[in-house]
């Protein structure tokens, strides 16, 4: 049928016949390519850098107040002489110091908290750790109390070190819990777990906070991490010793990258200039590198952190600006 039609067509006009056959071939080829998933327009599309890039995702935030803070006190620290810790709490709370707490037990307890076992009081922690520690001390801290507390294992326990590396026990786990277990909202922070390294004869690394976790009444756990501020933030970062200082390595970059010595920057009130536009206050923390160096408007133009060149996965605001709902 089609053959007869084509033969008639060829007799009528060879040129028209050739064009019809060619057209059929092109249409068939296009259909076959489409059928097998060759997306011709995609292949032809160019991926040059002129294409507008998607801005990094903005993280949705919930504002919560952390009533707990703890820093290491002045003076030397060791397992035999003890360590000074300075709690600073917004409410009356209890500081529990668990010396030589087993790593696996603590991790198990924190895991259990996230799966329904409530940890909000000193007793909860003591029962959950179930004597998988050497010694426990308990301090009552009132809300205005900023005094240093001396945590120490009594000499009669006979503990002078926690053995060779790698260790099965954390030297000191400080737990801050609220004194009064009253009704709490789901996002309220009910406990803070601070893992502290204390030097001993076997491992002389100076005393420092290794990890800080916050536990909410809902059963979530958050790890507190320092922010890297480009300047003094007026206490917003919450970690005084985390401020990085940056110095330009050569003279060319001096125009783009300001010298971010903390002392120089903290003097003026306009010390939080965005490193990009130099015109607005720094208000964005980039994740995962945690550099706070850009204002709200500049952050949308960057896929890489201007300080460390890390890819920006998301960002969050330090303070709520007017255009945020
Ligand atoms: Zn800016
Ligand atoms: Zn960075």
Chain segment 28-84, per-residue pLDDT in tens? 777 766 666 555 555 545 555 555 566 767 666 677 788 888 888 887 888 888 888
Model pLDDT, residue 231: 55
* pTM, 2 dp: 0.63
| Ligand 1 center to 19 CA (angstroms) | 61
CATH classification code of 271-317: 3.30.40.10
241 or 24: which carries more pLDDT confidence?
24
Query: Which ligand is closest in space to the CA of residue 298?
Result: 1
| Alpha carbons 262 and 231: distance in angstroms, whole number | 6
Model pLDDT, residue 7: 75
| Every domain of the chain and the residues it spans | 2-35, 62-216, 271-317
Query: Which ligand is closest in space to the CA of residue 312?
Result: 2
Query: Which ligand is closest in space to the CA of residue 301?
Result: 1
Q: Strand order of the sheet with strand 208-216? A: 135-141, 93-102, 169-178, 189-197, 208-216, 221-223
Model pLDDT, residue 249: 33
CATH architecture of 62-216: Sandwich (2.60)
Beta bridge partners of 78: 82
Please list, in sequence order, all residues whose beta carbon lies within 8 angstroms of the beta carbon of residue 232, skipping any fewer than 6 positions away.
Answer: 243, 262, 265, 266, 271
| Ligand 2 center to 251 CA (angstroms) | 21
| Ligand 2 center to 41 CA (angstroms) | 37
Query: Which ligand is closest in space to the CA of residue 286?
Result: 2
| Ligand 2 center to 291 CA (angstroms) | 5
Beta strands in the chain (DSSP E): 57-58, 70-72, 83-87, 93-102, 135-141, 149-151, 169-178, 189-197, 208-216, 221-223, 228-229, 284-287, 291-294, 314-317
Instruction: Judge contact between 73 and 154, C-beta under 8 A.
Output: no
| Ligand 1 center to 245 CA (angstroms) | 20
Alpha helical stretches, state H, the chain? 2-12, 14-35, 40-44, 103-113, 122-129, 262-267
């Amino acid at each position: 049928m089609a053959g007869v039609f084509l033969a008639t067509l060829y007799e009528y006009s060879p040129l028209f016949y050739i064009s019809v056959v060619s057209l059929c071939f092109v249409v068939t080829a296009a259909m076959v390519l489409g059928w097998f998933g060759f997306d011709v327009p995609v292949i032809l599309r160019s991926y040059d850098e002129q294409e507008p890039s998607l801005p990094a995702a903005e993280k949705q935030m919930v504002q919560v107040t952390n009533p707990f803070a703890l820093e290491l006190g002045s003076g030397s620290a060791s397992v035999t002489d003890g360590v000074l810790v300075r709690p600073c709490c917004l409410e009356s709370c209890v500081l529990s110091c668990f010396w030589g707490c087993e790593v696996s037990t603590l991790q198990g307890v924190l895991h259990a908290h996230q799966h329904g076992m409530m940890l909000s009081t000193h007793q909860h922690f003591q029962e959950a750790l179930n004597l998988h520690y050497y010694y426990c001390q308990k301090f009552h801290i009132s809300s205005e109390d900023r005094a240093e507390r001396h945590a120490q294992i009594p000499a009669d326990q006979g503990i002078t070190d926690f053995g060779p590396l790698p260790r099965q026990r954390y030297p000191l786990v400080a737990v801050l819990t609220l004194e009064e277990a009253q009704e709490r909202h789901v996002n309220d922070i009910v406990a803070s777990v601070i893992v502290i390294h204390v030097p001993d004869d076997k491992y002389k690394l100076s005393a420092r906070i290794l990890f800080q976790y916050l536990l909410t009444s809902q059963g979530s756990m958050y790890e507190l991490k320092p922010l890297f501020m480009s300047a003094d933030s007026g206490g917003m970062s919450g970690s005084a010793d985390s401020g990085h200082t940056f110095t330009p390595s050569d003279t060319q970059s001096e125009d783009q990258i300001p010298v971010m010595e903390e002392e120089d920057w903290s003097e003026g009130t306009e010390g939080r200039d965005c490193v990009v536009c130099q015109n607005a206050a720094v208000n964005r923390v980039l994740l995962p590198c945690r550099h706070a160096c850009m204002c709200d408007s500049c952050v949308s133009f960057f896929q890489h952190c201007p300080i460390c060149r890390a890819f920006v996965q998301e960002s969050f605001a330090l303070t709520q600006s007017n255009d945020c709902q």
